[in-house]
């Protein structure tokens, strides 16, 4: 009888010990998950916090379009405000740019690589009010394509502003563009299932601001880049501040990220009165940098445009 009681007591202790070990394991797992979630949240937050870089990238310039090439060098297209011509400059560190030159034979950052490997340069023809294109095998020499890629939807009222075109994971091509410039002035979406040759209108309220009233109340100057993991981040302007959205479904839907990415008040080295045309790149070390047109003001109150930048901390 005594042996049986001892055995039962030992068995009970074994069950309790096993239960305690399971509970401890669960607590450790939960702790790890909480730490992982906190680390992911902190990493994401660092991606969204941009600090203005010192100085000007290019003075008397506007409309930046940037990309990072295979060597890690930043290639920056811009409009020279003195000559009103498009030029291109390069910088190994993305900060100190060379003298601008005509962009002959250099691929523009906003050119699109189609699903079949062809490079395509889309353009809005103001005369015919249609979306046309040129194509290239190597991204440097382009030949005009016959026909029209897209005609504005009736809700666009014959207008098209800034556009962003990219190939998605399903073999289609996405077109995000500003329409109804004098009215709603918001981002719309059209989609191509034939390799970027023709587009069909799919959405007139991509960023959720169709009823905001247009003008400075809507998100404009949109441009997106791919992120690791299949997402895309879109930067844009509203009034004079830079905002960002993320899409996880190749541009079908977008989620506004919290806060502003950049505002005039963030610049303390010199007065900045307005920002326009942000373009985002991901640097080789994982940081993000925005190049943007700034309307600067000197000590006499004279205003001029210059390209400035802001960068996130190292991941």
**What's 97's domain CATH number?**
2.115.10.20
- Domains identified in the chain, total number: 2
Q: Please, which pLDDT band fits residue 298 given cuts at 50, 70 and 90?
A: confident
Distance CA 181, CA 77 (A): 25
| In a shared domain, residues 21 and 143 | no
Q: Please, which pLDDT band fits residue 138 given cuts at 50, 70 and 90?
A: very high
| In a shared domain, residues 21 and 101 | no
- The dihedral formed by the CA atoms of 177, 180, 184 and 188, expressed in degrees to the nearest 10: -30
| Domain that includes residue 32, residue range | 1-48
The whole-model pTM stands at 0.85
| In a shared domain, residues 24 and 173 | no
| In a shared domain, residues 17 and 64 | no
| In a shared domain, residues 36 and 66 | no
Q: Could you tell me if residue 117 is left (phi over 0), alpha (psi between -120 and 50 degrees) or otherwise beta?
A: left
Give the pLDDT of residue 39: 40
| In a shared domain, residues 1 and 136 | no
Instruction: Give residues with Cβ within 8 angstroms of 239, minimum separation 6.
Output: 216, 217
* pLDDT higher at 3 or 55: 55
| In a shared domain, residues 170 and 279 | yes
DSSP helix/strand/coil, 267:
coil
> Mean pLDDT across the stretch 121-130?
96
């Amino acid at each position: 009888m005594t042996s049986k009681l001892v055995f039962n007591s030992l068995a009970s202790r074994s069950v309790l010990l096993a239960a305690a070990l399971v509970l401890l394991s669960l607590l450790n797992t939960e702790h790890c998950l909480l730490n992982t979630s906190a680390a992911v949240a902190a990493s994401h937050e660092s991606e969204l916090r941009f600090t203005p870089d010192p100085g000007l990238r290019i003075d008397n310039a506007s409309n930046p379009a940037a990309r990072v090439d295979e060597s890690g060098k930043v290639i920056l297209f811009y409009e020279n405000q003195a000559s009103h011509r498009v030029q291109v400059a390069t910088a190994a560190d993305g900060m100190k740019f060379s003298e601008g030159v005509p962009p002959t034979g250099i691929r523009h950052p906003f050119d699109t690589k189609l699903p079949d490997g062809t490079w395509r340069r889309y353009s809005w023809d103001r005369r015919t009010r249609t979306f046309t294109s040129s194509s290239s095998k190597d991204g440097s020499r382009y030949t005009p394509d016959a026909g029209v890629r897209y005609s504005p939807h009736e809700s666009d009222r014959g207008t098209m502003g800034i556009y962003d075109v990219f190939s998605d994971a399903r073999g289609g091509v996405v077109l995000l563009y500003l329409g109804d410039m004098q009215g709603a002035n918001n981002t719309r979406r059209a989609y191509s299932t034939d390799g970027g040759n023709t587009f069909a209108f799919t959405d007139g309220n991509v960023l959720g601001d169709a009823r905001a009233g247009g003008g400075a109340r809507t998100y404009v100057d949109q441009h997106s880049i791919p992120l690791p993991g299949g997402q895309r981040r879109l930067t844009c302007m509203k009034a004079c501040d830079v905002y960002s959205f993320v899409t996880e479904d190749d541009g079908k839907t977008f989620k506004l990220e919290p806060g502003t990415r950049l505002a005039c008040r963030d610049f303390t080295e010199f007065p900045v009165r307005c920002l326009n045309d942000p373009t985002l790149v991901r640097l080789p070390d994982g940081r993000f940098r925005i190049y943007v047109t700034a309307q600067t003001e000197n000590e006499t109150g004279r205003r001029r445009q210059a390209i400035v930048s802001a960068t996130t901390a190292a991941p």
